[in-house]
Amino acid sequence: MIDGIAKIEESYIDKIYEIIKDKNLTATVVTFGCQMNAKDSEKLLGILEKSGYSIIDDENKADFVLFNTCTVRENANQRLYGRIGQLKNDCINNKNKIIGICGCMMQEKDEVDYIKDKYKYVKLIFGTHNLYDFPHLLYETIYDIYVNNNEKTKTIEVLDSSDVILEDLPQHRKYPFKAGVNIMYGCDNFCSYCIVPYVRGRERSRSSAEIINEVKNLVSNGVKEVMLLGQNVNSYGKGLDENITFANLLNQVANIDGLYQVRFMTSHPKDFSDELIECIKNNKKIARHIHLPLQSGSDKVLSDMNRKYTKEKYLDLVGKIRNNIENVSISTDIIVGFPTEDESDFNETIDCIYKSKFDQVFTFIYSKRTGTKASTLPSISTDEEISKRFDELLNVTKEVGTKQYEQYVGSIFEGLVEEEDSVPGFLTSRLSNNALVHFKGDKSLIGSVMNFKLDECKGFYYNGSVAN
Ligand code: SAH
Ligand code: SF4
Ligand code: F3S
């Protein structure tokens, strides 16, 4: 069935090409949200490129602008509305300009209705379950504009679920030397605050053969580093015919010839096995960085969040990871102001940060998401109390993170040079433990692996120099 769908979608790419080939059209995809959305955007850009668009990085100039949205927190939605609002005049002046919106936020009916009502110039809407159908939907839009002269106003198709995921779509990769690889889709954890299971659907793992094949192909095309992607990579393998754990898969990927390094994201603490710790410890091609979202340090709040671990269990796990994996860094996500969080719960979180010695913390203020279990809970704290907690959280994470970073000043580490720095003549490199090093160098070094002396700690990055 999948092969048949793939052929149909390819035929739409050809049809679009026929309509637009002489028109010199440009396109851009604006991505919000997580690594999974970034990966989807590479597929969307690949389709646009193959259809005959030139890819540019300017939503004001582009003939086709596609917003790939996130809805994990309310402010992600607000940002989207700001951006599409700014394009209104461009659309009035150029009736052939196409604005499309896809991604997680489009799985929410209220948001789609709001866009239909308030942003009439948006011409194409689709969701996460029919990303594979983008060539077809784009064709309908293009046909309407360039052949029918704008008779129809919109193409909208959002599905509640789907089994179809096309993997062999053309891709437009942002970096030639590193790539994300989906190992699973969706999420079954239903943390009580989180909308992801509702907008991304049930958890499905890809077969290991498909994943290994994709990584081998990437490596033969010059990729040095891959990041294995899933909302909860530690539960990889559930529901597959083969008997495989995430640790098995990680080992197999790491052992692919020619691959320099493998990263993964995200690990849920409840499923982090001893087998996985052993696997990372024993295979130097697996990056020394683990993203392990804590969310809260209070057992009461963790239980209300449906996270399925306690503070003690989390701290034991961090201890095991740090004792076994040399120079490992641990980053985390924390939510402040969950409805049932009081001052003493928050203090448990702070205690956990000191005890875990997090290298980096991503901090969020709780945002109520429609349809989630937590959305029915009244908050026991005032906005003022929550904002005070948030400020304290930022101070503590900075203090703890800087101490972690400072311990390596003066040492030499290997890193992959990723991009030009904002300061001319400087580049940025990423170490195995995910820390960034800024150094002086020529941009021809981008994509190469080099040794760096960490000269100075600047909080959450280093100033360094090339060491041979
Ligand atoms: N699957 C990943 C998280 C994906 S969402 C995991 O479980 O770790 C990324 C982060 O956004 C979460 O870790 C959480 O800290 C934050 N987040 C999710 N829903 C949120 C909400 N409703 N309000 C505030 N932060 C939220
Ligand atoms: Fe959301 Fe929890 Fe799933 Fe992460 S594990 S995506 S926080 S429901
Ligand atoms: Fe956002 Fe969707 Fe990712 S809601 S965090 S883009 S899975």
Sketch the domain layout of the chain as residue ranges. Answer: 2-157, 176-287, 298-403, 412-466
Which numbered atom of ligand 3 lies nearest the CA of 68? 6
Amino acid at 70: C
Torsion of Cα atoms, 180 then 181 then 186 then 190, to 10°: -60
pLDDT score of 96: 86
What are the residue ranges of helices labelled H in 94-130? 109-118
Residues 193, 318, 356, 415, CA torsion sign: negative
Burial string for 186-218 (b: 16+ CB within 10 Å, else e) reads: bbebebbbbbbbbbbbebbbbebeebbebbbeb
* Cβ 112 under 6 angstroms from ligand 2: no
DSSP letters of 287-312?
Answer: -SEEE---B-S-HHHHHHTT----HH
Amino acid at 206: R
Residue 185 vs residues 129, 166, 207: alpha-carbon distances, Å: 11, 12, 12
List the chain residues with pLDDT less than 70: 1-2, 151-152
Query: pLDDT digit string (tens) for 44-74?
Result: 999 999 999 999 999 999 999 999 999 999 9
Token couple for 297: 């340090």
Q: How far is ligand 2, taken at its centre, from the CA of residue 348, in Å?
A: 21
CATH architecture under which domain 412-466 falls: Beta Barrel (2.40)
Amino acid at 2: I
Token couple for 256: 């692919």
Ligand nearest to the CA of 269: 1
Please check whether residue 467 is in contact with residue 453, taking contact to mean a CB–CB distance below 8 angstroms. yes
> Which class is domain 176-287?
alpha beta
Question: Whose C-alpha lies nearest to ligand 2, atom 5?
Answer: 189
- Its pTM stands at 0.94
Please check whether residue 277 is in contact with residue 245, taking contact to mean a CB–CB distance below 8 angstroms. no
CATH topology assigned to domain 2-157: Rossmann fold (3.40.50)
Query: pLDDT digit string (tens) for 417-431?
Result: 999 999 999 999 999
Q: How far is ligand 1, taken at its centre, from the CA of residue 430, in Å?
A: 24
Please check whether residue 359 is in contact with residue 405, taking contact to mean a CB–CB distance below 8 angstroms. yes
Ligand nearest to the CA of 67: 3
Contacts of 37 (CB under 8 A, 6+ apart): 31, 68, 69, 70, 103, 104
Which numbered atom of ligand 2 lies nearest the CA of 187? 3
**CATH of 298-403 among 3.40.50.150, 2.30.110.10, 3.40.50.300, 3.30.750.200:** 3.30.750.200
Establish whether domains 298-403 and 412-466 are of one fold.
Answer: no
pLDDT score of 1: 63
Q: How far is ligand 3, taken at its centre, from the CA of residue 173, in Å?
A: 19
Q: How many CB atoms lie within 10 A of CB 379?
A: 16
Residues in the chain: 468
CA pair distance 225, 181, nearest whole angstrom: 10
Ligand 3, residues at Cβ distance < 6 Å: 33-34, 36-37, 70-72, 104, 196, 199-200
Amino acid at 177: F
CA distance from start to end of the chain: 54
Q: Given the DSSP bridges, would you call strands 449-457 and 461-466 parallel, antiparallel or unpaired?
A: antiparallel
CA pair distance 381, 340, nearest whole angstrom: 8
CA pair distance 299, 312, nearest whole angstrom: 9
Q: How far is ligand 3, taken at its centre, from the CA of residue 137, in Å?
A: 22
Please check whether residue 160 is in contact with residue 192, taking contact to mean a CB–CB distance below 8 angstroms. no
Query: pLDDT digit string (tens) for 427-468?
Result: 999 999 999 999 999 999 999 999 999 999 998 899 999 997
| Cis bond upstream, residue 266 (ω within 30) | yes
Nearest to 138 by CA among 42, 199, 64: 64
Q: How far is ligand 1, taken at its centre, from the CA of residue 229, in Å?
A: 15
pLDDT score of 234: 95
